[in-house]
Structure 1
Amino acid sequence: MARKQYSHHEEHIDETWLIPYSDMLTLLLALFIVLYASSQIDQKKFEQLAQSFSYAFRGNTSIFESVRTVPYAVDGPSQMPVLPKTPAVVSGMAGANEQAYMIETVQLVELKKQLDRYIAENNLAGDIQTALTDDGLMIRIKDTALFASGRAELKPESLRLGTEIARMIAPLPQRVIVAGHTDNMPINTPEFPSNWDLSTVRALNFMKYMLSQAEIKPERISVSGYGEYRPVASNDTEEGRAKNRRVEVLIMRSYLPDGIKR
């Protein structure tokens, strides 16, 4: 007696819509974060962010999709070179980096807000300035807030400032550059034969103090001394020379506006 054959077909719900849906939610979340912080971003930077969002919404590659490698062909005894990445893969890489740039911008904006709040609460507006630039977040400190004239030892009253800056930048992954600058008035002492020596030692001392106050990875931070050769104002007046005597702390972006990783 022949048995009846029964086939059981399980119907599976198509869940492929979850990937673009999750992408859309992620982009919307980033959009609202950037819009919230946009009051602290200059118009040029905000337009770049808007272009990045427009690009991301037009793309077809999921931000959760792993970047694939393109195989190469072997023809006879010689091996063919690796083929260029397809437009879809390149688009996915660029989109992911642009999103990383936007997230990094939000991080730097939040750090700028913290610094500006500290500056306002401690009446330091005349000594410290912050600016978000294409290179990153710049913290500019007048030399009189840190050092006595012609000296490179940190003044006791400046230590709290160094501690606060160190604690604020410690959680971030970006590289940090501490740079010293002077005016064009020559210095020639046994300790500092030139303005280059003075500017470099000042930056080095400030960097060492920050490293002692927070868990900043030493490989993240570096020092430069520019002497009088990168002025921000004219050295023809005392006011201009005072602006040029400074220490700058740059929290450098890891990603450029076009999504390229440094």
Structure 2
Amino acid sequence: MSERGGPPQQPIIVRRVHRRGHGHHGGAWKVAYADFVTAMMAFFLVMWLIGVGTREQRAAISEYFRNPSLVPGNATLAPPGRMGPGGASDSAIKLGGAMDLPHGPGKDTRGAAAASVDGRTVEKEARRQEQARLQELMQQLRAAIQNSQALAPFKDQLLLDITPEGLRIQIVDKLNRPMFDLGSAQLKPYTADILRELAGFINRVPNRISISGHTDDAPYSSGNRYGNWELSADRANAARRALLDGGLQDAKIARVVGLAASVPFDKAHPGDPINRRISIIVMTRQAEAAALSQELADEDAAPPAATAGPAAASPAALPAASAAAAAAAPGVLVH
């Protein structure tokens, strides 16, 4: 009670609250959550890569993790490190008695193996697509031969098939319907019409073509040494000109050769008119590359013109050896 007799005064109480942070208000959980999200992202990324990869690529990845090594290339380390195929060490520290790790760039056999597998896969797919293109072209030609007014009358003289070199289109002679006059390289009008029709179909694919002329084995005598080799080469060249007249791109022609009677269609009857033919091959890329490499090899092997020795063979006789090789080994590219 106050001494002056006034009303009693209530004491003033001041409460000071000291706030302290609780555990769930910290930031440690964010770090853990970020690690979790990163791990899940990596997991789904790996699953996606496995899903889109080919069987060969998955095998290469599996081999990579099954046989790890800290040493690049084919280098191996001596015990006790046990580093190398099937026995990688769990540490990159140099162990006692072991070899030093090589410095500088080295050959990564795992990467080379994976690249090789991938290259083979790409090459196989490219070949498959090329074969599909040639098959489609053959079906289009067969349909055109049946439906075209220019080609239908001569369908028994047009032969189509797929060979190791590509799509082969052969225009053969008939007894009462020859493509050329006897001993001449002048195309009959119907033969020129057939070739002009074929040009538009050949332009539909990117492949280059090979044109070869063939004769029967009837001897061709001439005072100026003009024989079946020269005649078959001239007939092949006449076919080339007719294809160009039909709109064929000149760059699509890879070679024009005369093979005389060296590769008969009917081997049992070399004098049959069916052996007199023009053969057009829509070449695969592999066959084209083989032909080019063979030409380069022939050029490198050719002796200098000034060198003394036996008389050189005439250009028309050069395909004879290749034709004989093709007859002995079916499927070999005729050069």
TM interval, short-chain normalised: 0.5 to 0.7
Q: Which structure is larger by alpha-carbon Rg, 1 or 2?
A: 2
2:123 aligned with 1:126, yes or no? Answer: no
After superposition, give the CA deviation of every residue in 1:185-221 in whole Å (9 maximum; x if it has no partner).
Answer: 1123478810011100000011122123224242643
Structure 2 equivalent of residue 253 of structure 1: 284
Structure 1 equivalent of residue 55 of structure 2: 58
Structure 2 equivalent of residue 176 of structure 1: 209
Cα distance, 1:96 vs structure 2 = 0.4
Aligned match for 1:241, one of 244, 264, 272: 272
TM-score normalised by structure 2 residue count: 0.53
- Superposed, which structure 2 residues align to 1:158-173 within 5 Å? 158-173=191-206
Aligned match for 1:106, one of 121, 132, 146: 132
For structure 2, which runs of at least 5 residues remain unmatched after alignment?
Answer: 1-25, 60-71, 74-103, 291-335
User: d(CA) in 1 for partners of 2:47 and 2:237?
Assistant: 54
Aligned match for 1:232, one of 258, 265, 272: 265
Worse overlay, 135-144 or 222-231? 135-144
Alignment coverage as a number of residue pairs: 210
Identical-residue share of aligned pairs (%):
23
Structure 2 equivalent of residue 204 of structure 1: 237
Q: 1:230 to 1:110 in 2, by over 3 A?
A: same
User: d(CA) in 1 for partners of 2:27 and 2:108?
Assistant: 51
Structure 2 equivalent of residue 93 of structure 1: 119
Q: 1:204 to 1:252 in 2, by over 3 A?
A: same
After superposition, give the CA deviation of every residue in 1:123-163 in whole Å (9 maximum; x if it has no partner).
Answer: 43321100011111111111446322222112222222111
Q: Is the 8 A contact 1:184 1:235 kept in 2?
A: no
Q: Is the 8 A contact 1:211 1:218 kept in 2?
A: no
Cα distance, 1:104 vs structure 2 = 0.3
Q: What is the letter of the counterpart of residue 210 of structure 1?
A: L
TM-score normalised by structure 1 residue count: 0.66
User: d(CA) in 2 for partners of 1:115 and 1:130?
Assistant: 8
User: d(CA) in 2 for partners of 1:135 and 1:178?
Assistant: 13
